[in-house]
Amino acid sequence: MARILILVAVLGLCVGGAAHAFMAGNPKAGRSLAVDHCAACHAVPEEAAAATEADAPGFETIALDDANYTLKTMRRAMKTPHWPDGDVMLSSKDADNVIAFIVSLRPKE
């Protein structure tokens, strides 16, 4: 019985925590993916290497402009390779991680 109660408590914590972050995404993994594959064009906060593509919004800009960059547009951008190694598709998990990273740049309420 006690075990079941603990399980229920742990599940409750997970669900509560996920509501704050973005679903299943891991912002840390998303950040390192963004640094490796996206930072040449999209500025990553606190990353020394400068983004060179002037047209690309920095990830902080994307995060703060949630009227233009909704979860839907972000997800679509992740699923539409627009980077030079264009045959590199992000898995759904990678996409969730990057979105979680972007969402983590929004100010906390």
List residues binding ligand HEC (CB under 6 A).
Answer: 34, 37-38, 40-42, 53, 55-56, 62, 69, 73-74, 77-78, 82-84, 90, 98
Nearer to ligand HEC, 78 or 100 (CB): 78
CB 38 within 8 A of CB 99: no
- State the nearest-atom distance from the C-beta of 20 to ligand HEC, in Å: 21
In angstroms, the CA 92 to CA 97 distance is: 9
Q: What are phi and psi of 63, to 5 degrees?
A: -65, -40
Nearer to ligand HEC, 20 or 80 (CB): 80
Count Cβ atoms below 10 Å from residue 103 Cβ, excluding itself. Answer: 20
- State the nearest-atom distance from the C-beta of 7 to ligand HEC, in Å: 36
Nearer to ligand HEC, 1 or 91 (CB): 91
CB 1 within 8 A of CB 77: no
